[in-house]
Chains A and B, each alone.
Chain A
């Protein structure tokens, strides 16, 4: 795993964010900014999901619950009648922290299970949250939906604040992702993902790092939900707690590469535009979902670990075989420990 912050890495991130910062200023077709807002939103969601699902190896299928909670928190604090302005953006960190704290007991209970059981438990979380959104009518408006305070932004640049808010959240999610990788949190999470029982046996603070990953991941997702609610202006339980959003963030991380920094971002930048395109091509029918699934299937068949890990694996193998050829001809010195070993055990 490459962990040092290299110049190439800095340049890559710099160019990526610079281009995205400049897009609204430079302008383009009307649909571009809207599509990009959702692409960046999913990149942020998937990057946040990856902190838990990728680094810790706990594939939550219920993360949209926190998205919905963030969305409703924003809608409840800034109801349709009050004047919103920029205030909803400034309240986001509080929502993020509150949801992160709230998620700790949920994480503690659900992460007593593993792998497929954990996935099922978290799906339950999704449906409980959606049911609550439907039934707590006093707070959520139930099936009638709930309006969020109108955003008083200029028509010509209406999308800009939402766009930049999403971009900042993506930068934060990626920053935390990078921080995890470079700290003992990431090192500990890697042991949890590889062999949790053994991790206990060498004194890794397993429960603590799992909860840190869960809470940070949930808090970030809630903040994205808050921006989304303010952007769409009117939220319904079936859209704020939509299983498709969960599936989206999971698929994008799988596609680009779980447990990598750029994988979820890459996944989002492939799948969201693809989805938009198919939705246009096939009209309002749900057929576009089939096309969407097909894209995913094809890539996973050829690159089962996701795009980035598969590519780096291939590069590594090519480099290793080149190095191996060089070594053979140079007649390398023997290593201290013989590498030829009897591998079989009973």
Chain B
């Protein structure tokens, strides 16, 4: 049984003369770790930006959880269970590691006027920090974290709202091998707990062992879709990566 959690229909975005995303359609099925790969500049980040409401699409349609999202807005989507990370990790460096999690956990109007970090907040953050082995750093300014730790923190933070779909934009780019393993573990753990992933990633070994299916984007449109084995043998994919 398969259910489409995210459906992208003829999505298009032009920047002046450049068509970054071109009539792009694909789906992400519930319960998968779907990869979105493609050469540099093929429009992966731009697609992410439109799906999560950071960029207005020129045309096309986005459906999440069966509902058409007429005007995607980051805050709305986040509250509905669609969250993302950025290619260049974006955290709040002035806040402590713990506060980065607390602020992303969502809060009611009443809580807005309440304690900055309540006991309940602290407990919830502690659980997540434990999972990500960042407990020791809870009270540090997150500016003190290394690049890889920031990526982990950003990932941990967007999980605080119990999302159903998480979009990761190059979760392992620029981090050391130990951290890549850690990141993979965390993705697998969360996937086992029922979270669906759409991942942009350049590390092909990681994609091949972690993701299924794989969507290949070139010049803003999908050129291949299927299991990692199929994708590896696909001549169009090889051409896109090697040729032109």
Contact = CB atoms under 8 A, between A and B. Distances in A.
Contacts of B75: 200-201, 203-206
B134 interface: yes
Given A183-B112, A187-B103, A201-B75, A342 B94 contact: no
A197 B74 contact: yes
Contact of A201 (B74, B96, B152, B179): B74
Nearest to A197: B54
Interface residues of A, number: 39
B182 A337 contact: yes
Contacts of B148: 337, 341-342
B241 interface: no
B159 to A, nearest CB: 11
B42 interface: no
A345 B88 contact: yes
B182 A342 contact: no
A342 B92 contact: no
A105 B217 CA distance: 45
A191 B52 CA distance: 19
B139 to A, nearest CB: 11
Interface string B96-111: 1001001110110101
Contacts of A341: 146-149, 175-176, 179
Contacts of A181: 116
B157 A202 contact: yes
A227 B71 CA distance: 47
A203 B76 CA distance: 7
Contacts of A191: 92, 95, 103
Interface residues of B, number: 50
A256 interface: no
Nearest to A343: B147
A204 B103 contact: yes
B92 to A, nearest CB: 5
Contacts, number: 125
Contacts of A28: none
Contact of A337 (B83, B99, B179): B179
A2 B37 CA distance: 44
B113 A194 contact: no
B178 interface: yes
Interface string A303-346: 00000000000000000000000000000000111111111111
Interface in B162-202: 173-176, 178-179, 182
B176 A338 contact: yes
Nearest to A201: B74
A206 B107 CA distance: 12
A311 B73 CA distance: 41
A187 B99 contact: yes
A339 B146 contact: yes
29 contacts: A182-B116, A184-B111, A184-B112, A185-B113, A187-B95, A190-B99, A191-B95, A193-B94, A194-B92, A194-B94, A201-B54, A201-B90, A202-B78, A202-B83, A202-B104, A202-B161, A203-B75, A203-B79, A204-B75, A335-B136, A337-B133, A338-B178, A341-B146, A341-B147, A341-B148, A341-B176, A342-B176, A343-B146, A345-B147
Interface of A: 1, 3, 181-188, 190-191, 193-195, 197-206, 208-209, 335-346
Interface of B: 52, 54, 73-75, 78-79, 83-84, 86, 88, 90, 92-96, 99, 102-104, 106-107, 109, 111-117, 133-134, 136, 141, 146-149, 152, 157-158, 161, 173-176, 178-179, 182
